[in-house]
């Protein structure tokens, strides 16, 4: 009791797979995962799903729009994830820092009203990397690195409610 399962089925971004192939694999994966969770008696309303987004592979010659990723991802989730799941918290899954924010934002701004669960983020690298790069082990840079971490967290918080814009990336401190 008292434990919240965080279920993390990830379809890797490595490779040259298309958006459509990622959608097929994610669909099969989520279908299988939820069948097993049901069989094991997991309470969906007491779990968090931490999936990757439906996105073409890094080496795919045909990259798609932010909106296409958002639409494919939300449609796949709506098809496979029970409405009773407590929340969706995405991995950044090797995406660029800006793309992970833009994709999350598009999901919430374009399709958020269709989602029965909150759609948010559980990013590590996509939030931490700018701070780690700036800090680089230099104790005199800790305060600035912390500010960079805060900025990324604010950008992704805005994306979680559909209020992120790529123009925010041009500012040092978000509003």
Q: Which residues form the catalytic set?
A: 8, 50
Task: Check: CB of residue 65 under 8 Å from CB of residue 12.
Answer: no
Handedness of CA 132, 133, 139, 141 (dihedral sign): negative
Phi, psi values for residue 92, rounded to 5°: -80, -25
Beta carbons within 10 angstroms of residue 16's beta carbon = 12
Cα–Cα distances in angstroms (integers) from residue 30 to residues 3, 62, 112, 118, in the given order: 21, 24, 20, 17
Q: How far is CA 40 from CA 13, 48, 49, 51, 54, in A?
A: 29, 16, 16, 19, 26
Which tokens in the block code for residue 87? 């929340």
């Amino acid at each position: 009791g008292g434990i919240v399962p965080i279920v993390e089925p990830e379809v890797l971004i490595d490779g040259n797979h298309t958006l459509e192939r990622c959608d097929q694999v994610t669909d099969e994966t989520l279908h299988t995962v939820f069948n097993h969770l049901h069989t094991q008696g997991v309470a969906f309303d007491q779990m968090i799903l931490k999936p990757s987004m439906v996105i073409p592979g890094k080496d795919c010659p045909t990259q798609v729009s932010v909106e296409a990723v958002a639409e494919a991802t939300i449609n796949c989730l709506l098809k496979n994830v029970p409405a009773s799941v407590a929340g969706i918290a995405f991995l950044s899954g090797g995406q660029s820092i800006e793309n992970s924010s833009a994709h999350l934002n598009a999901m919430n701004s374009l399709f958020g009203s269709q989602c029965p669960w909150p759609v948010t983020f559980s990013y590590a690298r996509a939030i931490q990397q700018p701070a780690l790069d700036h800090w680089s082990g230099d104790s005199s840079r800790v305060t600035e690195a912390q500010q960079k971490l805060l900025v990324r967290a604010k950008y992704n918080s805005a994306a979680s409610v559909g209020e992120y814009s790529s123009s925010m990336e041009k500012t040092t401190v978000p509003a």
